[in-house]
């Protein structure tokens, strides 16, 4: 299976609101498998379908490097049904390499979704898993992590973001297979 190109800030796919997956079929499962492979190749802990050029509500997540007690997840049409507490922590993104900043998130969430076989699942998450799920679901809604940074932080990153945006604007829309994956900072 081939690794997919990760779209960078500036690529229009990242700003679109993703469409629901109507049925979890072999194409959806193939996308999930390719997304896991891409995420692992990039050394990330989460990846949303828009980040590989697919405007569908699909997320893969594996926070086991940070929390070995968790399992990897494939989420189709995820939605946060409960969010409580508040925590601030540093976040980066595979679509915005070498950029990080503090983001305020809910500390505990409950998410409903379909698994890779189309069965409904509800997961309660906290810590890094809650943070990563919120980050990836933001991607499905066309929200990038830099939009959650403080205005001061965004201003400090302005020239770096301009450079990444130019790269992203040159990327082709849609999924593209790559032969040599390059590790980037975790999402």
Largest interatomic CA distance in the chain: 45
Say which of 5, 91, 136, 184 is annotated catalytic: 136
Q: List the Cα angle 16/18/20 in 5-degree steps.
A: 160
26: left (phi over 0), alpha (psi -120 to 50) or beta: alpha
Task: Say whether 90 is catalytic.
Answer: no
User: CA neighbours within 13 Å on the CB side: how many for 155?
Assistant: 3
Please name every residue paired with 74 in a beta bridge, in sequence order, or none if there are none.
60
Query: Do the beta carbons of residue 116 and residue 26 sit within 8 Å?
Result: no
- Length of the chain equals 187
Residues labelled catalytic: 136
């Amino acid at each position: 299976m081939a690794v997919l190109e990760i779209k960078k800030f500036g690529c229009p796919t990242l700003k679109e609101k993703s469409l629901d997956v109507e049925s979890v079929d072999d194409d959806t499962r193939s996308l999930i498998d390719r997304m896991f492979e891409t995420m692992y190749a990039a050394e990330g802990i989460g990846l949303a379908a828009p980040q590989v050029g697919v405007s569908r509500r699909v997320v893969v997540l594996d926070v086991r490097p940070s929390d070995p007690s968790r399992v990897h997840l494939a989420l189709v049409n995820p939605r946060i049904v409960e969010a409580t507490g508040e925590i601030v922590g540093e976040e980066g993104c595979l679509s915005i390499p070498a950029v990080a900043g503090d983001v305020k998130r809910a500390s505990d969430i409950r998410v409903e979704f379909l698994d890779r076989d189309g069965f409904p699942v509800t997961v309660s998450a906290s810590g890094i898993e809650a943070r990563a799920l919120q980050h990836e679901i933001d991607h499905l809604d066309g929200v990038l992590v830099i939009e959650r940074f403080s205005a001061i932080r965004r201003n400090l990153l302005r020239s770096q973001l301009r450079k990444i945006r130019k790269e992203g604007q040159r990327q082709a829309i849609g999924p593209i297979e790559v032969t040599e994956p390059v590790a980037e900072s975790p999402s």
